Chains A and B, each alone.
Chain A
Amino acid sequence: MDLKLKIWRQENAQAKGEFKTYNVAGVSSDSSFLEMLDVLNESIVDKVETPVCFDHDCREGICGMCSLYINGRPHGPDDAITTCQLHMRKFKDGDTITIEPWRASPFPVIKDLVVDRTALDSIIQSGGYTSAKTGGVPDANATLIDKYSSDLAMDAASCIGCGACVAACKNASAMLFVAAKVSQFALLPQGQVEKTKRVQDMVARMDELGFGNCTNTYACEMECPKEISVTNIARMNREFLSSKVCSEQ
């Protein structure tokens, strides 16, 4: 298939940046979106020009590095997948595809389509640690967890921190991401010891970094490649409120 690509090119964080149009011919519909970009980059390199920078690592939907805003949707025109899992069969021959970086104040563009998402790491760090028993190896069944809670915790923990929630949100809110990180601990007995401090610190850090306020449009949930549910946001709100009201901290 032959495609026309409109790609955001920006030399560095300070540069103004602009869209550049590229034509790629003979793209296999079986190739992945990132493979299509690799093909494009090879042709750009052949012309001794600077290839398009984009983030990627695992290319199997688990690391959360790939982060492209394709034709008006984070991770492109398919549901519950990352950009690296998007295949060209989702497009038609002759299509024009517009590729932009995540847009949000806390995610400054580093170069072209690569944005700095260390803000998300910083929120995780602010969550601190979980206290655990030291000493002999504990019996695997010593801490009982019901299946329902463990499933919910696992669902929350499947967040790969790609930032699509922030990119999709009209408010650039990171609530879905933070909620997933709060929930994965709040749902388990091991997470109870520091739960008050954890939720307060993570929310404070999120605000400090300049992420927006959630207005419940649920665009985040619709675009999340891991289908993290907004029920996690409600859970975080509960955790936050009860920690503010009940605890002395």
Chain B
Amino acid sequence: MSNTKALSSITQKVIMSLMGIFLIMFLLVHLGINLFLLPLTENHREIFLASAEFMSTFPPMKIMEIGLFGGFIIHILYGVIVQLQNWKSRGSKSYAVASKTKATLASKTMIYSGILVFMFLAMHIYQFYFVKLGLNTGPMLEGTHHPDFYKMAIDLFTNDAIFSTIYILSFVVLYLHLSHAFQSAFQTLGWNHPKYTPIVKALGEIYAIVVPLGFISIPIYYMIWG
């Protein structure tokens, strides 16, 4: 059997991991802004709205936005391509006894956690980003044509228990995805080193727990105290 790949297997994986690292960094920025949905300071609402405004109007951010969408699309596209190739390599005949090898659940389910995160992302873009584009309706900031993301988010978290539940579950799935993704990206890029890999693994674990937990804390706060 032979396969013809447009790019070599390693190149495909390197592209995926570079995009993944880019998305990991973006998520941190997103969390940084979102945390101001919580009453951290007196003027948390103003800070949140100012950051949202900055992100959507500052010209270099526009370029970053294109890069971000590109990053998502390439990461997802290659994720699917790699998976399809892998299923083909595994063949039509599967083992009668399921694997007893102790590979982590996260590493074995990347495509599924990825698909779930993608579904959340699609919903998220429809609910928020489409309002900015004028393709969906939502509350506007008084006297402007900018959407009031603050009000949208708080309303959803306070009144829509189903949304909040989906939101929380999505971030649990994202934890699963990230807990494998972080160190895996470094391994693919060839960064496996007796001194630094333990640090990378620890950082990955911390990131995978802290970041989704940060996002989850917001709906939980509003569900309880909203």
List the interface of chain A (C-beta within 8 A of B).
6, 8, 19, 69, 71-73, 77, 98, 100, 103-106, 108, 168, 170-173, 175, 203-204, 206-219, 222-223, 230-231, 233-241, 244
B96/A213 in contact, CB under 8 A:
no
B217 CB within 8 Å of chain A:
no
* Shortest Cβ distance from B3 into A: residue: A210
* Shortest Cβ distance from B110 into A: residue: A215
Chain B 91-102 against A: per-residue CB contact (8 Å), 1 yes, 0 no?
Answer: 101111111111
* Shortest Cβ distance from A237 into B: residue: B190
A104/B103 in contact, CB under 8 A:
no
Distance A173 CA – B12 CA, assembled complex (angstroms): 14
Categorize the interface residue count of chain B.
Answer: 35 or more
- Please, which residues of chain B bring their CB within 8 A of the CB of A19? 96
- Please, which residues of chain A bring their CB within 8 A of the CB of B94? 103
Extra 15 A-B pairs, beta carbons < 8 Å, given A171-B90, A210-B1: A71-B97, A100-B97, A103-B90, A103-B93, A105-B89, A173-B89, A209-B1, A211-B9, A213-B9, A214-B188, A215-B110, A217-B107, A233-B192, A234-B190, A235-B192
Distance A82 CA – B125 CA, assembled complex (angstroms): 51
Tell me the smallest distance from the CB of A146 to a CB of chain B, in Å: 15
* Shortest Cβ distance from B191 into A: residue: A234
B190/A170 in contact, CB under 8 A:
no
- Please, which residues of chain B bring their CB within 8 A of the CB of A244? 11
Residue pairs across A and B with Cβ atoms less than 8 A apart, 11 shown, are: A8-B96, A71-B100, A98-B97, A103-B94, A210-B2, A212-B9, A213-B9, A215-B107, A222-B101, A222-B102, A239-B190
- Please, which residues of chain A bring their CB within 8 A of the CB of B183? 216
Distance A103 CA – B97 CA, assembled complex (angstroms): 12
Given contacts A170-B99, A237-B188, contact A106 B11 (CB under 8 A): no
Chain B 142-177 against A: per-residue CB contact (8 Å), 1 yes, 0 no?
Answer: 000000000000000000000000000000000000
- Please, which residues of chain A bring their CB within 8 A of the CB of B102? 222
A210/B88 in contact, CB under 8 A:
yes
Distance A212 CA – B82 CA, assembled complex (angstroms): 8
Picked from B2, B101, B191, the residue with its CB within 8 Å of the CB of A209 is B2
- Please, which residues of chain A bring their CB within 8 A of the CB of B195? none
Distance A19 CA – B3 CA, assembled complex (angstroms): 30
Tell me the smallest distance from the CB of B93 to a CB of chain A, in Å: 6
B116 CB within 8 Å of chain A:
no
Picked from A222, A234, A239, the residue with its CB within 8 Å of the CB of B187 is A234
B107/A241 in contact, CB under 8 A:
no
Picked from B5, B99, B180, the residue with its CB within 8 Å of the CB of A207 is B5
* Shortest Cβ distance from A6 into B: residue: B96
Q: Which of B182-196 contact A (CB under 8 A)?
A: 183-184, 187-192, 194
